[in-house]
Structure 1
Amino acid sequence: MTPLSNVELMLLQLIAECRQASGYDLLKLIDRRGYREWANIGTTSIYAGLKKLNDKGLIESEESGGKSGKGPMPTRFGITEVGREALRREIIASLSSTRERDNRFDLGVAALPFVEKGEAVEALRARLDFLAKALTNIRRSYESQGGSRLPLHVRALFLHPMNLIESEQAFVARFISELQEEMKRHADHH
């Protein structure tokens, strides 16, 4: 079976966790957990993902009895046995063999000779601000949901990106000071 997309993996995991969930339940949970933020997931991809999981037989839909208002019957999804096995496989693969960072940054580093060193330093300082804001937002979300009182697997969803950002901040700060050293040496030679 082809590997699941990030969206499919996330949805399968949430459906397994909730036992049964409607698209709306999933949207609310995705927002609360901040998946949109760090997994880059939009509403349309969520509904497309549910359809794909259903087509692959990994989840099954059933009309739920709790009809409210005049709208259509809300569909609820449950995970199938095949879905449970696929989820297990994907989790093992994800934990054992994934990269931790955005290669877009590396593309920028590779193209460094095409900007002035001073510009690069400015851009990297802006990135430090950007990372600090991201860290603050994740930390705020973590604390507002209970922080250290959250179950370990939920805590890890916050602590892992926080840890990666802190590591990235340290790297960028070192990179800036090395660029500044180069600039200083270059200036001294002229």
Structure 2
Amino acid sequence: MNQLSNVEFMLLQVITECNQASGYDINKLIDQRGYREWANIGTTSIYAGLKKLNDKGLIESEDSGEKFGKGPMPIRFTMTEVGMTTLRNEIIAGLSSSRERDNRFDLGLAAIPLLEKGEAIGALRKRLDFLGDVLINIRQNYESQGGVRLPLYIRALFLHPMSLIESEQAFVANLINELLEEMKEDVNND
């Protein structure tokens, strides 16, 4: 079986955790946990992912029998045995071998020599501001969800990106300092 997309991987996790879930339930949980901010998961991709998982036989769908307000009867999704096996394999692969990289940022790093050093420093300072804002948002979301009182696996979803961002902030600050040193050397050599 082909590797799952990030959306499909996340959907299997949520459905397993909830035993059964509707698209609405899944959207609500994604918002509460802040998945959208770091996993690039939109509402449309959730419903498309549910259809793909259903077509692959990894989940089953059924009418919930409960209707609130207008609109169609909510469909609830449950895991199949094949879905559970696939999820377990994906979790093991994800924990043991995946990497966190922003390829676009890496491409920008490779192209720094094409900018004036002052331009590069300005762009990197904007990145520090951006990272700081993202970190504040994640911390606020973490605290509003219960902070240290959250179960370990949910705390980890917040603590991991926060530590990655803090590490990147240190990296970018060091890079800025090195560029500033190079600028001083350039002035002294002229």
TM range (shorter): over 0.9
Aligned residues: 190
Q: Look up the match of 1:166.
A: 166
Helix, strand or coil: the match of 1:60?
strand
Separation in 2, partners of 1:2, 1:41: 20
2:35 counterpart of 1:12: no
Alpha-carbon offset, residue 65 of structure 1 = 1.4
Separation in 2, partners of 1:60, 1:122: 51
Helix, strand or coil: the match of 1:73?
coil
Helix, strand or coil: the match of 2:66?
coil
Q: Look up the match of 1:140.
A: 140
Q: Look up the match of 1:45.
A: 45
**4+ residue stretches of structure 1 with deviation over 4 A?**
none
Alpha-carbon offset, residue 138 of structure 1 = 0.2
Separation in 1, partners of 2:128, 2:112: 17
Helix, strand or coil: the match of 2:127?
helix
Separation in 2, partners of 1:68, 1:187: 70
Separation in 2, partners of 1:138, 1:2: 32
Give a deviation string over 1:94-138, Cα, whole Å, max 9, x none: 001111121111000111111110000011011000000000000
Which ranges in structure 1 are unaligned for 5 or more consecutive residues?
A: none
Helix, strand or coil: the match of 1:65?
coil
Separation in 1, partners of 2:181, 2:81: 59
Give a deviation string over 1:23-57, Cα, whole Å, max 9, x none: 01101111111111000111111111000000000
Scaled by the length of structure 2, what TM-score is found? 0.99
Q: Look up the match of 1:28.
A: 28
Structure 1 segment 1-190 matched on structure 2, within 5 A: 1-190=1-190
Separation in 2, partners of 1:70, 1:136: 38
Question: AA paired with 1:101?
Answer: R
Helix, strand or coil: the match of 2:62?
strand
Helix, strand or coil: the match of 1:99?
coil
Give a deviation string over 1:122-168, Cα, whole Å, max 9, x none: 11011000000000000000001100000000000000000000000
Q: What RMSD in Å do the two structures reach over aligned CA positions?
A: 0.7
Helix, strand or coil: the match of 1:94?
helix
Alpha-carbon offset, residue 69 of structure 1 = 2.5
Which ranges in structure 2 are unaligned for 5 or more consecutive residues?
A: none
Give a deviation string over 1:56-89, Cα, whole Å, max 9, x none: 0000001001112242110000011100000000
Question: AA paired with 1:84?
Answer: M
Separation in 1, partners of 2:143, 2:113: 41
